[in-house]
Structure 1
Amino acid sequence: MVSLDPDKVMGPLQRLIATAQNGLEVMRLGGLDTGEVASPFDVVERKRMYKLRHYHPETEVGTLPPVLLVPPLMVSADVYDVTSDGAVGILHRAGLDPWVVDFGSPATEEGGWERDLADHIVAVSDAIDDIHRRTKRDVHIAGYSQGGMFTYQAAAFRKCENIASIMTFGSPVDAAANMPLGVPVEFATKGAEFLADHVFNRLSISDTMVKTGFQLLDPIKTVKSRIDFVRQLHDREALLPREQQRRFLSNEGWVPYSGPAIADLLKQFVVGNRMMSGGFVVRDQVISLADLTIPILSFVGEVDDIGQPAAVRGIRRAAPNAEVFEADIRAGHFGLVVGTKAATITWPAVADWVQWREDLGPRPELIYEMSYDEGASSPGSAGSKFAATATSVVEVTAGIGREIANIAQGAFRGTIGMSSEAARALPRLARLGQIQPHTQISFGSLLAEQGRRAPLGECFLFDDRVHTNAAVNTRIDNVVRGLISVGVRPSAQIGVLMETRPSALVTIAALSRLGAVAVLLPPGTDLPTAIELSGIDTLVTDPNNLKSAAATGIKVLVLGGGEHRGLDVEVETVIDLEQIDPGAVRIPAWYKPNPGLARELAFILVAGVGDRMELKPVTNHRWALSAFGTATSANLGRQDTVYCLAPLHHSSGLLVSVGGAVAGGSRIALGRGLDPDKFVEEIHRYGVTVVTYTWTMMREILAAESLAIGRDHPIRLFIGSGMPVGLWYETTERFKPARVLEFYASIEGDVVLANVSGIKAGCKGRPVPGTAHVELAAYDAVAGKFIEQDDGFVRRCETDEVGLLMSKAATDGAFAGGAAMRGVFDRGDAWIPTENLFRRDADGDYWLVDNKKTVVKTARGPVFTQPIIDLLDSIPEVDLAVAYGVEVGGRTLAVAAVTLHKGAELEADTVTSAIRELAPADRPDLVHVVDEIALSSTYRPSNRALAARGMPAPGPTTWAYEPHDGAYKELTAEVAAMLFPTESTG
């Protein structure tokens, strides 16, 4: 008979009994009873969006530094009190006063499923006010994961008022950091756009989905922890220290996520990356992390799969005006705030940080200033990298997203040639190709499309406020009613004399929606001449231009100006549109919104001054061509904010800036004119990615001593027309890595050229796909006529030969407006001539050389002004340059004038070296330095005043060209008399 060892029998039996007892307790109660009691707290505020917890309420309020802890949306507020070594307990024992904002669950809170990001950001801001009111002290705010993002945003929203410092834990800022599998950023943003627009606008995420998504981030670890728990189920003492944390992660700690909040996160954080660029929208207010001016401490998890280090360290660049510090911890995302390392490293460091910022202790050794060098990204799977881009949403779905990414990897690599730019451009080009003369398309109709597609989408920004598509379209419709009430009808030509303001944008759109034609008059223009030339009998103006408009004697309609309009003109011909009640206006039967057809007139631009003033008609087709062409060439999308520096009355403003933004679905940022002091501030606050300009507009910005633009600006592109070469170089150098995208858009025909690469400064580029085919026709610039071949057809220009730019007209000539020439290059063809002379280089790029009216016609032949200007502009000492003709002694001289940068000097040898690139016959006869070159209202350098002065006076800064040695030398009185005799001396 075999004897049994009691220990060998009882040991397994006791383990079995203990396992059964503990397992039954887990099944009945959801976990083991640890005997731990949560830290005491009072709910001191109950509001629709949150409850404010004050922990350890026995502490006298206001005696200790207050710290507000903010949880992420998908995690319970109890995350800060999971164990006895939780955040609130440690901070209290360290002499701080902990408070927690509790958003609750959208499943149980009234209106919870409709909550968006702004609700939570404003709630944090309100909680700060609550604490400050009670404690009379500035508040230190701290947030975990998305809660940290809320602290950044709330602080920017309130301009850091009553906030002592910010602390975040694994909170990503740069959504573009560490894309998975080499996927381009825009490829990921397209997916985020789709999810925001078509999935999360009708779907929320349950707490079970949140928990599952988090566990799928590391399924192996999840399974292993469950196996370890079961294997140790008999050993209660071993399980108890980690039981609270296990229960929190397994079930109790997860909160549902409302669909609007997810959609908002995707649109603003992922698609727009607006935590980095600026322009984040909270309610109708635009904010930027550049507004943060208080100390920031960011805890970085070295093995964090959600808040990737590179994305978290984005705060250094996003908040250039703040002191930014970091603390690195060898922990994952959850381990930053819960667990052993959190208890022994994170929260003691938080306490030490607050004591330091309160001047109650030294700077902690763990904490150091964050540098701009992001360093190496943390190791991890493709899924972890994907998580860094989508932050909190990926906290819910990253596990699934990783599998999808793996499945899609092969397909993506096989189609990498189909770039996001192409995917975005193709529908636009297809739409351009579909436009026929009878197609209904206009400025007003495209704005209406945006309103139907995304009523809550952001249309434009002004004075730090956001105007949605719905609000803008409502305002347009109201103005239409006002215009109808005063007798404006379709096809009527109505003058618009307004500064670049929302009211101007709305006025132009309202006239378009009504089917009328806006005649755009630059403020400060010669109104009597413009009125006589255009034949208008009605002007829409703003309060700033009311006096000059009223002085014309024609009907004046006043719009805009805000609350303090100051209308002090009492004339019978002046009508205040703001006083008309839209609801009281009877809509006539003839009114049809947006009736404009492609072939019909949309706008009339008024350009030039005095006897050079001219009207430039723009059809709806021509406007659409520039709008979609700009959107395509600049790759404009919803992530872009286009800063409209170019005035609306200029073709760059209306056709390129506003047109491109509307066609691209981008936001429009309107500034109050050209203000260098506000430029940098608005660039960051609005998150401007594209700046539009005309001619020398950027010169005033760059010359401002107050310009303090760092390398972390959000600008990627400057788009416009006419930027001088020297200013081009200076702009791209100052705003690296932004590029200049120079456009040429003729009013005649359908020509749109774009220098998309931005490599050749001064070049106009190539035709934008979808626009008219162009050719250069051989042209005698002196005689002013085409050069024909023996067969009578016009000769096409060779490479680098100067010719007149021609655009191919539609077969039926429907868009030509009667301007088409037939039988130009071939029998039966139709071409529309422009007013400008170009050359085409060996690469196929087009260079503007002159307008056919401004060619200097010398005895030796035509001298083209633009090549001269470009070469002089490229001299570092030169600020502005112009070229023109002067009559001296019965002959015409080619003269160039330059102004210099402050303190610069120009030598004759420098001029000689620069001009030597031109053939001798193309060089100016004289070059001289002048004190000033006048600028037009659109910042175009004008040579008119200088040309009127005639021959430049001899002197040390006037140089004459000597053909025998190809050099420029000082023009003395003797040399002037010899080289350029007047009729009296010759």
Structure 2
Amino acid sequence: MGLDSRAVTGPMRRLIATAQNGLEVIRFGGLEPDSSSSPYQVVERSGMYRLRRYYPDSDTAASGPPVVLVPPMMMSADVYDVTRDRGAVGILHAAGLDPWVVDFGSPDKEEGGWDRTLTDHILALDEIVDRIHAYTARDVHLGGYSQGGMFCYQAAAYRRSRNIASLITFGSPVDTLAALPFGIPETVATLSADFLADHVFNRLAITGWMARTGFQFLDPVKTVRSRIDFLRQLHDREALLPREPQRRFLDTEGWVAWSGPAVADLLRQFVAHNRMVSGGFVINDKAVTIAEITCPILAFLGEVDDIGQPLAVRGVRKAAPRAEVYEYSLRAGHFGLVVGSVAAQQTWPATSEWVQWREGMGDRPVGVTPMAAPDPDGVGDTGVSISSRVAHTVATLADVGADIGKGIAEVATGAVRGARDLSGEAARALPRLARLGQIQPRTRVSVGSLLAEQGRRAPQRECFIFEDRVYTYEAVNRRIDNIVLGLVDNGVRPAMHVGVLMNVRPSAMAAVAAISRLGAVSVLIPPGPDAVAAARLGGVEKLVADPENLDLAVATDLPVLVLGGGDVRDLDVAPGADVVDLERIDISDVQLPGWYVPDPGLARELAFILFVGGGPTLEIKRITNYRWALSAFGTATAASLGRGDTMYCLAPLHHSSGLLVSFGGALAGGSRIALSNGLNPAKFGEEIHRYGVTVVTYTWSMMRQVLDSQSLHIDASHPVRLFIGSGMPPGLWWRTLERFAPARVVEFYASAEGDVILANVSGSKVGSKGRPLPGSAAVCLAAYDPLTGRLVEDERGFVRPCADDEVGLLLGKPGAASEALGNVMRGVFEPGDVWVPTENLFRRDADGDYWLLDNKRSVVVTAHGPVYAQPVIDVLGMIPRIDLAVSYGISLGDDDIAVAACTLRGKKAPTAAEITAALDTVPEGERPDLVHIVPSIPLGPSYRPAADTLRERGMPTPTVRSWYADRETGTYRRFTKAVAARWTAGATGAAPAAR
């Protein structure tokens, strides 16, 4: 039987064709397709970009809406024109639009390219939008693929949407930590991104071949499959040619280098700290937030995109609450969103229809829908639906048999994700607690040293944000060193008490750090009527003040050094006043003396003096370096502060919450500090978003002014996760939780002397001061009799420890690294023990949580027993109609009576029944004798409600808004003139029962 000639010639022709095509690939890198690229003209050229206008001579160039397409850093601008007939620019042009493409070039081929930063790219886009708007006299539709889309979001936020008709993004993640490639755990990603940004890409760039390899590594199965398919069809030129431009683009031609600084910015701001969602990313030294975008947004997302995963892309819905946000979902991977058959059939036609709809030339495109929140049913950790994932994975893996390995990887990823929160907390907390345990009395630790340490670790990290400007650690430490020169030139020496009388501003914190760097003591003086007395009590020798407090500083008759407010100003100084303007000193000639050693402060040494009380009760509060470090690292641990946090410092430095919690906690946690120029409710909501504030500090009733403001605009997209401070009334606490859900409140208590720090970390018991912070002093409640003002002793003469729910004086044990600066008690509970007493009375519940009752000196001792202020204030403040409350004592005859005064949130007062119900939770003998409504309650500099003025007025005037305690019935009844007359005519001050 003879052989069929076709059986021989067919394989031979196939072999020859394979050889010919293979030789062409070897010689030229690929097959030469028949299709060509689209025509364009470079309209603008700069060191950062070349701006291409496609089809410049066509009619659509003159009449069509301009669409600007931005490539990602690692990809050539030709990604939008891989093939003329199926590429983005060709399809957009055919639809009557005016396509433009930004070409950033490749950093390795541009002058200064390796030094490009993220800011350079955004400022380039900012300039491009202005140029195209001027060129066409039309607003621009700005679109970008992958990181190019992120650039578009950032540029629109930077411009606040000016001259931008809409944003169109393709696989561009916003919430980068919501869904990471390969299911990488968040903790691993953030720590790795931080390390790479600070220690790798500050000195290393990514070449084009590295970018190509990394992209292919993200989907190795698809890469291998595409190469196998290419080899299998190498004999069939006609089958390969349609896909050849795409293959060559992905394999060789489409990749460009990344500059190291730009990659570091990307990793630091948008991976490690996820600031596309939280806000507060930095462009040109300004804080910016996506929340300021107001133009419409269309986000294309791939249902099987493992790089720009759907959950990450949909983060824009939360990040841009003021914008109309739409999505178009299609079954495609990351590259398939913009190149290939799916893109040609769906992506670019839908983009054209979107632009026409926004221009009023058509209806909303089919498939474009308002962006939906992630669906928890059928959606995995990435946001890729399980059905899509299974279908795509089976199809992809069928050719290479890798399903087993992939399945194992997904199981492992799930296990790691389940443990990531716990590991993240431990990774942050354990080193801080270990460091506290290593501090000994002679350990060098101080504000100045911690700032210097953070600066050495990452000099270009952001330290402060103030009035939209961002200051790096390098700039802050340089400013501190310059202030040191000015202080030295004006006679400041180690251990000298230097007063600081300044409002909240970066210069105030720099002044405190400079004083610390010199080894001197900062005496933090509250601006106000007590300034002169505070300077005297604090032993101040020189005073640093800002221009706003200059008159108050001069009134102390001390030498005044003026700092802050800029270097161009004229100070209005009284003749003869000893005032030096530090901003005008020429420090270039100042020589540091031989004794100068930077940051010499030891743990045991005095670092700060704060003040508590006011007027005749003004007292000093001494803070050692150890005590400051304890509060700083304790706060960072309790609040789980990290580099991704931005702390909004509303509390002034002269208050312990400002110095110990805000400033200290942020420094210890490596967090940014956002400063507000005083409490301004109108700016609060705006700055929260723009700065990306995650933690807000407060004192006492400070948040009340924010919540009561009509100008406060806060919605569910706010980035705040935590409020930390001290003294917040429970009613205000609940209001804050409700308005800023799901944020929590962490309430602190710190003793005036010793190392006692309590924190209500869980927030589950509103009003409680919580438990001792890890690393702080051990505490104990000593039984206390408020009637005699003495501790209660047992039969052996030792003080009796309190049982649960018993009133006691809080004592703290001095630590190994601290030296008691005040009174100490010895032999308290057993022979030889040493304790430092606080001034405050507490109860401890059965769970071990501590509840503040009162200062031991302000307990009102009445005929029916002691009345503690804090429980009364707490329960009255929980009445919805009550705003603020204070409790105080007044003398009536030979005895005292307890009075509670309240202000209202509205016009309607609570009823006697509501007052009775609220105070029923307080033990009967500890309830106030009188409750009355007052027009206002004065607030101190730290927003603490003060009762001094009300106490001085004596007996409240009977009104329809005053009630007295009827001890016989256990209720509160209307306080009338007749009842008042009986009280004042009685033999004792004790409130008699009604008759």
Shorter-normalised TM range: over 0.9
For residues 693-708 of structure 1, the aligned pairs below 5 Å read: 693-708=698-713
Aligned to 1:610: 615
For residues 527-538 of structure 1, the aligned pairs below 5 Å read: 527-538=531-542
The question of 1:660 aligning with 2:654 is answered: no
Aligned with 2:980: secondary structure? helix
**Contact 2:185 2:413 survives alignment (8 Å):** no
Please report how far the alpha carbon of residue 563 of structure 1 lies from its aligned counterpart in structure 2 after TM superposition.
5.7
Aligned to 1:111: 112
Amino acid corresponding to residue 605 of structure 2 in structure 1: E
TM-score by length of 2: 0.94
Tell me, in whole angstroms, the C-alpha distance in 1 between the residues paired with 2:407 and 2:128.
40
**Contact 1:383 1:402 survives alignment (8 Å):** no
The question of 1:23 aligning with 2:27 is answered: no
Aligned with 2:714: secondary structure? coil
Moved more, 466-475 or 431-440: 431-440
For residues 506-905 of structure 1, the aligned pairs below 5 Å read: 506-562=510-566, 565-572=569-576, 573-810=578-815, 815-905=819-909
The question of 1:239 aligning with 2:243 is answered: no
Amino acid corresponding to residue 108 of structure 2 in structure 1: A
* Alpha-carbon spacing, 1:155–1:375, altered in 2? closer, same or farther (3 Å): farther
Tell me, in whole angstroms, the C-alpha distance in 1 between the residues paired with 2:432 and 2:846.
29
For residues 481-520 of structure 1, the aligned pairs below 5 Å read: 481-520=485-524
Aligned with 2:602: secondary structure? coil
* Alpha-carbon spacing, 1:183–1:863, altered in 2? closer, same or farther (3 Å): farther
Describe the superposition over 1:195-234 as per-residue Cα deviations: whole angstroms up to 9, x where unpaired: 3333333433333333233233333332222222222222
Describe the superposition over 1:419-448 as per-residue Cα deviations: whole angstroms up to 9, x where unpaired: 221221111111111111111111111111
Tell me, in whole angstroms, the C-alpha distance in 1 between the residues paired with 2:591 and 2:237.
81
Moved more, 973-982 or 429-438: 973-982
**Contact 1:308 1:377 survives alignment (8 Å):** no
**Contact 2:187 2:420 survives alignment (8 Å):** no
* Alpha-carbon spacing, 1:350–1:551, altered in 2? closer, same or farther (3 Å): same
Tell me, in whole angstroms, the C-alpha distance in 1 between the residues paired with 2:545 and 2:671.
27
Amino acid corresponding to residue 307 of structure 2 in structure 1: I
The question of 1:83 aligning with 2:87 is answered: no
The question of 1:432 aligning with 2:432 is answered: no
* Alpha-carbon spacing, 1:890–1:928, altered in 2? closer, same or farther (3 Å): same
* Alpha-carbon spacing, 1:423–1:524, altered in 2? closer, same or farther (3 Å): same
Aligned to 1:391: none
Aligned to 2:281: 280
Aligned with 1:606: secondary structure? strand
Moved more, 318-327 or 975-984: 975-984
Describe the superposition over 1:122-150 as per-residue Cα deviations: whole angstroms up to 9, x where unpaired: 22222223323332332211000110000
Describe the superposition over 1:55-99 as per-residue Cα deviations: whole angstroms up to 9, x where unpaired: 122247654322111001121111000012111111112222211
Aligned to 1:346: 347
Please report how far the alpha carbon of residue 552 of structure 1 lies from its aligned counterpart in structure 2 after TM superposition.
3.3
* Alpha-carbon spacing, 1:179–1:40, altered in 2? closer, same or farther (3 Å): closer
Tell me, in whole angstroms, the C-alpha distance in 2 between the residues paired with 1:758 and 1:62.
62
TM-score by length of 1: 0.95
Tell me, in whole angstroms, the C-alpha distance in 2 between the residues paired with 1:125 and 1:943.
55
Tell me, in whole angstroms, the C-alpha distance in 2 between the residues paired with 1:739 and 1:566.
45
Tell me, in whole angstroms, the C-alpha distance in 2 between the residues paired with 1:437 and 1:404.
52
* Alpha-carbon spacing, 1:208–1:358, altered in 2? closer, same or farther (3 Å): same
Please report how far the alpha carbon of residue 286 of structure 1 lies from its aligned counterpart in structure 2 after TM superposition.
0.9
Amino acid corresponding to residue 495 of structure 1 in structure 2: G
Aligned to 2:48: 49
Amino acid corresponding to residue 364 of structure 2 in structure 1: R
Aligned to 1:120: 121
Aligned to 1:71: 71
Amino acid corresponding to residue 740 of structure 1 in structure 2: V
Task: Report how many residues are paired.
Answer: 971
Aligned with 1:956: secondary structure? coil
Moved more, 781-790 or 974-983: 974-983
Tell me, in whole angstroms, the C-alpha distance in 2 between the residues paired with 1:383 and 1:582.
60
Moved more, 609-618 or 563-572: 563-572
For residues 906-925 of structure 1, the aligned pairs below 5 Å read: 906-925=910-929
Aligned to 2:970: 966
**Contact 1:90 1:343 survives alignment (8 Å):** yes
Please report how far the alpha carbon of residue 814 of structure 1 lies from its aligned counterpart in structure 2 after TM superposition.
5.1
Aligned to 2:11: 12
Tell me, in whole angstroms, the C-alpha distance in 2 between the residues paired with 1:535 and 1:124.
56
Aligned to 2:398: none
**Contact 2:182 2:306 survives alignment (8 Å):** no
Gaps of 5+ in 2: 390-402
Aligned to 1:393: none
- Pairwise CA RMSD of aligned residues? 2.5
Please report how far the alpha carbon of residue 904 of structure 1 lies from its aligned counterpart in structure 2 after TM superposition.
3.3
Amino acid corresponding to residue 128 of structure 1 in structure 2: V
* Alpha-carbon spacing, 1:271–1:804, altered in 2? closer, same or farther (3 Å): same
Aligned to 2:135: 134
* Alpha-carbon spacing, 1:777–1:664, altered in 2? closer, same or farther (3 Å): same
The question of 1:369 aligning with 2:370 is answered: yes
The question of 1:313 aligning with 2:314 is answered: yes
Amino acid corresponding to residue 269 of structure 2 in structure 1: Q
Aligned to 1:33: 32
**Contact 1:302 1:378 survives alignment (8 Å):** no
Tell me, in whole angstroms, the C-alpha distance in 2 between the residues paired with 1:184 and 1:712.
23
Moved more, 488-497 or 753-762: 488-497
**Contact 2:895 2:988 survives alignment (8 Å):** no
Amino acid corresponding to residue 71 of structure 2 in structure 1: P
Tell me, in whole angstroms, the C-alpha distance in 2 between the residues paired with 1:906 and 1:382.
50
Describe the superposition over 1:379-430 as per-residue Cα deviations: whole angstroms up to 9, x where unpaired: 7999999xx9xxxxxxxxxx9x999977976995998796221221111111
Tell me, in whole angstroms, the C-alpha distance in 2 between the residues paired with 1:156 and 1:644.
24
**Contact 2:650 2:679 survives alignment (8 Å):** yes
Please report how far the alpha carbon of residue 659 of structure 1 lies from its aligned counterpart in structure 2 after TM superposition.
0.4
**Contact 1:543 1:566 survives alignment (8 Å):** no
Tell me, in whole angstroms, the C-alpha distance in 2 between the residues paired with 1:380 and 1:673.
42
Tell me, in whole angstroms, the C-alpha distance in 1 between the residues paired with 2:381 and 2:639.
35
Describe the superposition over 1:506-542 as per-residue Cα deviations: whole angstroms up to 9, x where unpaired: 1111111111111111112333322333332422111
Gaps of 5+ in 1: 389-398
Please report how far the alpha carbon of residue 824 of structure 1 lies from its aligned counterpart in structure 2 after TM superposition.
0.9
Aligned to 1:395: none
Aligned with 1:883: secondary structure? strand
- Identity of matched residues, %: 62
* Alpha-carbon spacing, 1:613–1:564, altered in 2? closer, same or farther (3 Å): same
Amino acid corresponding to residue 981 of structure 2 in structure 1: A
Aligned to 1:468: 472
Tell me, in whole angstroms, the C-alpha distance in 1 between the residues paired with 2:664 and 2:462.
16
Moved more, 701-710 or 116-125: 116-125
**Contact 2:887 2:947 survives alignment (8 Å):** yes
Please report how far the alpha carbon of residue 575 of structure 1 lies from its aligned counterpart in structure 2 after TM superposition.
1.0
Amino acid corresponding to residue 475 of structure 2 in structure 1: A
Amino acid corresponding to residue 426 of structure 1 in structure 2: L
**Contact 2:515 2:522 survives alignment (8 Å):** yes
Tell me, in whole angstroms, the C-alpha distance in 2 between the residues paired with 1:490 and 1:377.
65
Tell me, in whole angstroms, the C-alpha distance in 2 between the residues paired with 1:733 and 1:384.
33
* Alpha-carbon spacing, 1:471–1:211, altered in 2? closer, same or farther (3 Å): same
Aligned with 1:107: secondary structure? helix
* Alpha-carbon spacing, 1:211–1:984, altered in 2? closer, same or farther (3 Å): closer
Please report how far the alpha carbon of residue 618 of structure 1 lies from its aligned counterpart in structure 2 after TM superposition.
1.1
Amino acid corresponding to residue 427 of structure 1 in structure 2: P
Aligned with 1:708: secondary structure? coil
